[in-house]
Amino acid sequence: MTEFPFEISPMFEGERVRKEGMFVELGGPKSIGLELVRSKPMDEIEDDKVTIVGPDIKEMEEGKTYPWAMIFNIGGELVEPDLESVVERRVHDFINYCQGIMHLNQRYDVWMRISKDTAGKLDSLEPFGKAVMMLFKTELPFIEKMQVTFYTDEEEVKKQMDEAMEIFRARDARTKDLHDEDVDVFYGCTLCQSFAPTSVCVVSPDRIALCGAINWFDGRAAAKVDPEGPQFEIAKGELLDAKTGEYSGVNEIAKKLSGGEFDKIKLHSFFDSPHTSCGCFEVVGFYIPEVDGIGWVNREFQGMAPNGIGFSTMAGQTGGGKQIIGFLGIGVNYFYSPKFIQADGGWNRVVWLPSMLKEKITEAIPADLVDKIATEKDTPDIASLKAFLQEKNHPVVASWAAAEEEEEEEEEVAEEVAVPAAPMMMPTAGFQIPAMPMMAGGKSGSGIKVTFKNAKITIDRMIISEKKE
């Protein structure tokens, strides 16, 4: 291995170069800083070459901040444009392995500092460039050839920045266009298992984690760096049902991570084997049997949903890492998924949203449905919701006529069950009854009525509503 004038080790990763010990600062909050990785044909790359455009270390003035851009070109039989962002993420790691060089942030916000100690051992940035490329080629052997250009000249950096912004925009557009069918692996996350032990969080390109914080790309990055960490790969396995989003690999991991509690998770299903709900979810969906539709409440909404329950109560019933039929926790970004609860009608099944949430995600809602979905301003309760949907001719209305005949029969066997009373006869497999908040029994108003319909052996529906006087 080539000798470098500074030490190289992962132990320097968190090293902080302080103002007092700093020779120069590159990019950062006081200037502009850029990093970009591009895939190029093999014959366009001069392997291991470092080019410096603008002042090099020996021409730099101590204590100053310089604009900064670094453009890495990579080539190899397996190198393709989709790998650029994967490789680019590692720039942060590898630069920080170099003693006395601090690298922070990413893309167009890069911030670096070179310590006095390290600068004293360097006349030029060339050995630094060579060290970083050596790390890349050692750790990511699919990179066969690599070259880098460092820019410290303001005009040049600006020019590179303009070009790079276009590239980032195009890359982001591609990223947003990535779907479940385009990848071989999904990612699991167990961060929530500390309080929801059977929670199985599956993150796919078309389904963000419930907390809204972890998407497929985060899963990929984290699993690569620490495969034993809280985010890990799930091989998709066989596609069992495209509509519901059922995969053999996901079912296997569901069984394993829930300790056998569930054997199936269908990624885009609301009713049948839905995703588990940890408690961290940004939004909770709830079935409204009276209109055969689904409403959603976000964490920030303080009021009551038309079923008379607010977010926190519903979250209490839904959370804990179970599959709760009739409730589903999601991240806000899932509303934008083209597969949004597609097993159960997708947007055609959505009847109610708090106005603040509806406003926030309007562009995700199909244009012909926007006015047909009610908010707390239109309908405070079920009766007015029903009238609203009828008036707007919401798609769910078509299903009402068909259900009506059935309904009449059901009414006769409907039975009221006092919640905390006698132990309920529940089917052992299938689903969990939401944990009920304990209510002071008997007093007016606040009681809960649970109605089981068609409940002879199995339960098709469960309705939780405010008890009418």
Partner 1 sequence: MTKVIAITGKGGTGKTAVAALLIRYLSKKGKFILAVDADADANLPETLGCENVKTVGDAKEYLQDEITKPKPDNPDMNKESVLKSKVYEIIEEMPGYDLLVMGRPEGSGCYCYVNNLLRGIMDKLIVNYDVVVIDTEAGLEHFSRKIIRDIDDLLVVTDASRRGFRTAERIRELVTELDSKVGNIHIIANKVTDANREELVKLAEDLKLDLIGMIPLDPKIMEMDIKGIPLFEIPDDSIAAMEVEKIVKKLGF
Q: How far is the CB of 115 from partner 1 (least distance, A)?
A: 12
> How far is it, in rounded angstroms, from Cα 113 to Cα 46?
27
Q: Which stretch binds partner 1 (CB under 8 A): 251-259, 345-353, 361-369, 394-402?
A: 361-369
- The widest CA-to-CA distance across the chain, in whole angstroms, is 90
The binding track of 273-312 with respect to partner 1, each residue x by CB under 8 A or -, is -------xxx----------------xx------------
Counting contacts by CB under 8 A, is residue 89 touching partner 1? yes
Of 31, 105, 432, 451, the one binding partner 1 by CB under 8 A: 105
Neighbours of 399 (CB within 10 A): 15
Number of Cβ atoms within 10 Å of the Cβ of 431: 19
Indicate whether 461 belongs to the interface with partner 1 (CB under 8 A).
Answer: no
Q: Examine residue 213 and tell whether it contacts partner 1 (CB under 8 A).
A: yes
Asked if 361 interacts with partner 1 (CB under 8 A), we say yes
Strands in 236-292 per DSSP E: 239-241, 246-247, 283-288
Q: Which of helix, strand or coil describes residue 6?
A: coil
Q: At its nearest, how many Å lie between partner 1 and the CB of residue 152?
A: 20
Smallest distance from the beta carbon of 94 to partner 1, in angstroms?
A: 12
> With 0-12 CB in 10 A as exposed, 13-18 as middle and 19+ as buried, what is 409?
exposed
Exactly one of 4, 217, 400, 452 binds partner 1 (CB under 8 A); which one?
217
The span of 10-18, 130-138, 145-153, 257-265 binding partner 1 (CB under 8 A) equals 10-18
103 vs 275, beta carbon nearer partner 1 = 103
Place of tokens 């569901």: 254
Given a contact cutoff of 8 angstroms between Cβ atoms, the answer to whether 206 and 180 are in contact is: yes
Residue of the chain from 8, 53, 83, 104 that contacts partner 1 (CB under 8 A): 104
In angstroms, what is the minimal distance from the CB of 12 to partner 1?
Answer: 10
Torsion of CA 282, 419, 264, 281, to 10 degrees: 10
Contacts 24+ apart (CB under 8 A), 391-398: 394/293, 394/351, 394/369, 395/345, 395/348, 395/349, 395/369, 396/291, 396/292, 396/293, 396/348, 396/349, 396/351
Cite the beta strand spans of 131-173 per DSSP E: 145-151
Q: Which is nearer to partner 1, 336 or 452 (CB)?
A: 336
Residue 345 CA to its chain's centroid (Å): 22
435: phi > 0 → left, psi -120 to 50 → alpha, else beta; which? beta
**What 3-state DSSP class applies to 416?**
strand
- Asked if 171 and 236 touch (Cβ cutoff 8 Å), the reply is no
Site string for partner 1, 367-406 (x = CB under 8 A): ----------------------------------------
Distance of CA 135 to the CA centre of its chain: 30
Min CB(239)–partner 1 separation in Å? 23
Find the shortest distance in angstroms from Cβ 170 to partner 1: 12
Given 57, 70, 148, 192, the residue binding partner 1 (CB under 8 A): 192
Instruction: Give the residue among 40, 34, 48, 138 at the shortest CA–CA distance from 88.
Output: 34
Establish if 117 lies at the interface with partner 1 (CB under 8 A). no
Determine, following the binding rule CB under 8 A, whether residue 116 of this chain makes contact with partner 1: no
For the CB of residue 87, give the shortest distance to partner 1 in the complex, in Å: 12
Residues whose CB is less than 8 angstroms from the CB of residue 166 and which lie 6 or more positions away in sequence, other chains included:
none
233 binds partner 1 (CB under 8 A): no
Rounded distance between C-alpha atoms, residue 160 and residue 68, angstroms: 10
Minimum separation from the CB atom of position 114 to partner 1 (A): 15
Does 23 engage in binding with partner 1 (CB under 8 A)?
Answer: no
- Closest CB to partner 1 among residues 21, 430: 21
Q: Which stretch binds partner 1 (CB under 8 A): 70-78, 85-93, 343-351, 436-444?
A: 85-93
Q: Is 191 in the site for partner 1 (CB under 8 A)?
A: yes
Q: Footprint of partner 1 on residues 319-338 (CB under 8 A)?
A: 331-333, 335-336
Between 215 and 465, name the residue whose CB sits nearer to partner 1. Answer: 215
Contact by Cβ (8 Å): 1, 113? no
Q: Per CB under 8 A, does 212 bind partner 1?
A: yes
Positions touching partner 1 (CB under 8 A) are 13-16, 18-20, 29, 85, 89, 92, 102-107, 109, 111, 168, 171-172, 175-176, 191-192, 209-218, 221, 230, 280-282, 299-300, 331-333, 335-336, 360-361, 363-364
